[in-house]
Amino acid sequence: MAKKTISPGGNVSGVVELPGDKSISHRYAILASLAEGTSEIRNYSSSADCLSSIECMRKLGIQIDLTKDFVRVAGKGLDGLKAPKRALDAGNSGSTIRMLSGVLAGQNFTSTITGDKSLQRRPMRRVAEPLRQMGADIRAKDGDRAPIEIHGAKLKAIDYTPPIPSAQVKSAVLLAGLYADGVTTLRESVRTRDHTEITLREMGANVETSKGEIRIHPRPKLQPRQFIVPGDLSGSVFLIAAALVLPDSAIMLHNVGLNPTRTKVLDFLISIGASINLASVQLRDGELIGDVSVRYAPLTGGAISGPQVAEMIDELPMLAALGAYTEHGIEIHDAQELRVKESDRIAALAAGLQAMGAKVTEYPDGLRVEGTSSGKLRGAKVDPQGDHRIAMALAVTALGAEGDTVVRDSECVGVSFPEFFTTLDKLRDAEARGAAAT
């Protein structure tokens, strides 16, 4: 098991080209497979999760070629998938298993989908429930866990409001809606990421949205497309945080996805004092993209709760950890969802930060991380519990500690951002190179 040693200090500076957004890459792989012809996707995420989506689609009979410059998907139309010979393996990827379940529910064959140990612990009833209402016969282990056996059926259109805001569940229902006998309606109280709706529209589907209501018309002929995946904003947040931990930092991130359902994290950081500027913002393939520049600035701290939780769900570990570098700390509530992510993120983060000397209070639905007045952090051996976002959050936290930190099992960052440590090292080297030149 690989470990990564983080020596603190210095700053980050330079320009970064980010790998493609994980959420968008999944959707492009799945929807391009259902299109009537060949799509080409540039800047597809290099993450293990997005490779799991490609592998699953291949097992469903879709030819997908990975070239140096793009991923080529030979879509076979809505009814072109074939029954897989064995159980599909979604690896660590909640997006793959949940979104693909929606597609599989509409097929005229039976399939099983499962994943690694972490994925087998995560709740699946939330996706099985609406798909059952649509008419699919779905059997999950203990009613709520993978492996999930999906007996596809002729689906009925439903009007559904997920009890917990979730873009994955919303997407599963919309994808199943492609196969339904009428218009499927999905209602959400908090606007979660809308890449599925955007991609469907870009490919010619009829998707109407107004005031928290999304309606998908069935059986579109999805058109193949050439897509360029925007840079991954959720991954970039770890680099942005590094610039906010290390004084004198200044970084610029190119072509980052700036979809408004994803940027609440930037609004929050700005509200607590971060110096973040956007430039060259434009619309490409239905998604906003632009350049993000960040300069070090002291942070005041603040609270996150209610709808903000779903809007910043993947960034909460990093935001909580940043609390140790703020004046008043960061407190998060209403975030019990964090306990059923790739790890129990509240417990994993609290343990890692406490090992570094941070003062942390754990709540059933969140945590509080005290600010700088509770003393400087110290390097420690930390265990991210196999969770990519915890590993990156702890590594960035270590940059401002006293002494080295060793992150166990550091290769788990490959689940979303395999280039994370090399990118961080390069931004830190840039400083060393600059210092050597002066």
Q: List, by residue number, the catalytic residues.
A: 314
Angle among Cα 339, 421, 419 to the nearest 5 degrees reads 90
Residue 102 or 147 with smaller CB distance to ligand S3P: 102
In the complex with ligand S3P, the residue whose CB is nearer, 24 or 353, is 24
| Distance in Å, CB of 98 to ligand S3P, minimum | 7
CB of 331 to ligand S3P, least distance (A): 21
- List the structure tokens of 229: 């995946």
Nearer to ligand S3P, 178 or 251 (CB): 178
Dihedral sign (CA 40, 45, 46, 51) = negative
User: Number of C-alpha atoms within 13 angstroms, CB side, residue 21?
Assistant: 26
Burial of 271 (0-12, 13-18, 19+ CB in 10 A): exposed
For the chain, percent helix, then strand, then coil, each to nearest 5? 35, 25, 40
Helix pair 420-437, 233-245: axis angle to 10 deg: 40
Query: Which residues form the interface with ligand S3P (CB under 6 A)?
Result: 23, 95, 166-168, 171, 193, 313-314
CB closer to ligand S3P out of 59 and 389: 389
Q: Is 366 left (phi over 0), alpha (psi -120 to 50) or beta?
A: left
CB-nearer residue toward ligand S3P: 76 or 170: 170
Spatial distance between the Cα atoms of 438 and 435, rounded to a whole number of angstroms: 5
CA 200-203-208 angle, to 5 degrees, is 40
Q: Which residues of 137-164 are buried (b: 16+ CB within 10 A; e: fewer)?
A: ebebeeeebbbbbbbbbebebbebebee
Q: Please write down the HEC assignment for all residues of 361-406.
A: EEECCEEEECCHHHCCCECCEECCCCCHHHHHHHHHHHCCCECCEE
Tell me how far, at minimum, the Cβ of 127 lies from ligand S3P, in Å.
9
- Residue 166 or 199 with smaller CB distance to ligand S3P: 166
The least distance separating ligand S3P from the CB of residue 108, rounded to whole angstroms, comes to 27
207 with 215: CB under 8 angstroms? yes
Q: Smaller CB distance to ligand S3P: residue 197 or 314? A: 314
In whole angstroms, what is the distance from residue 321 CA to residue 308 CA? Answer: 17
Q: How far is the CB of 166 from ligand S3P (least distance, A)?
A: 4
- What is the helix (H) or strand (E) element at residue 73, kind and residue range? strand 70-74
For the CB of residue 94, give the shortest distance to ligand S3P in the complex, in Å. Answer: 6
**Cα four-point dihedral sign 125, 127, 130, 132:** negative
Q: Please say which residue, 171 or 423, places its beta carbon nearer to ligand S3P.
A: 171
Range 341-373 burial, b when 16+ CB lie within 10 A, else e: bbbbbbebbbbbbebbbbbbeeeebbbbbbbbe
Cβ at position 339, least distance to ligand S3P in Å = 12
